[in-house]
Amino acid sequence: MNPELSQDLSLLHLVINASLPVQIVMALLLGASLMSWWFIFIKLFALKRAMRATNRFEREFWAGGDINAMYQRVTNEREEAGEMAHVFEAGLREFMKLRRQTGLSAHAIIDGTRRAMRATCQRELDGLESHLSFLATVGSVSPYVGLFGTVWGIMIAFMGLASVAQATLAQVAPGIAEALIATAMGLFAAIPAVVGYNRFTHDIDRLSSRMESFMEEFSNILQRQATKTA
């Protein structure tokens, strides 16, 4: 193999000597890939923490301890309590506030408690879903951005052959290679983003189902208390 051809086809040489539009595409894809990995690691740790906190809260809640003592603990340790504990706190706080009001039926108290828990649940889920839209965008758009860079690079490579009487592999290869790097970078940015988005969406859906089940069961417990005191 010709040493000069081998040197010209090195990855760094191709990137540095690529046309300006292709270099811009590569820079955009590299930035998108780095930001995707940053969000992936942040979301991975956040969801692991949320799952651990949810498991711990469910064990404590269904162990049959004092609800008021649990409420105080969640209020004092709000940062470490977790999403489900925040729903519990919002529900019990609203339940106690409504029960102190006169003239409210048990149905009205439980209805207000459910609304408070659902609003808190939605806020917690919105926090967990932050940055997922970015991963979805990178996963869907990056291949097309890389393809644009590839098409542009190939177009420039063939336009450069217009003034050449006889085209050879050594003349065509660098332009084609630099163009294909853009496609490779697009896939490199898209694949982790898609995998991360699907994984995190699945985990958030599982957590949402558990929180929905807890709200229904906790509402039933509070409804029995409201009926007794009505």
What is the mean predicted confidence (pLDDT) over 27-37? 93
Cβ-contact 87, 121 below 8 angstroms: yes
Q: What is the mean pLDDT of residues 86-111?
A: 88
Residues 6+ apart with CB under 8 A from 109: 95, 98, 99, 222, 226
Q: Give the model confidence (pLDDT) of 153-188 as tens digits.
A: 888 777 766 666 666 666 666 677 777 888 889 999
16 pLDDT band, cuts 50/70/90, is: confident
Question: Angle at Cα 46 formed by Cα 43 and Cα 48, nearest 5°?
Answer: 110
Do residues 83 and 124 touch, judged by C-beta distance below 8 A?
Answer: yes
pLDDT digits (tens, 9 = 90+) for 50-73: 999 999 999 988 887 788 888 888
Q: Which residues contact 64 (CB under 8 A, 6 or more apart)?
A: none
- Residue 13: pLDDT above 50? yes
Look at the chain and count its residues. Answer: 230
Asked if 197 and 136 count as a contact pair (C-beta separation under 8 A), the reply is yes
What percent of the chain stands above pLDDT 70?
86
Using DSSP, state whether 131 is helix, strand or coil: coil
Residue 6, pLDDT score: 45
Tell which wins on pLDDT, 210 or 15: 210
Contact status, residue 151 vs residue 21, Cβ threshold 8 Å:
no
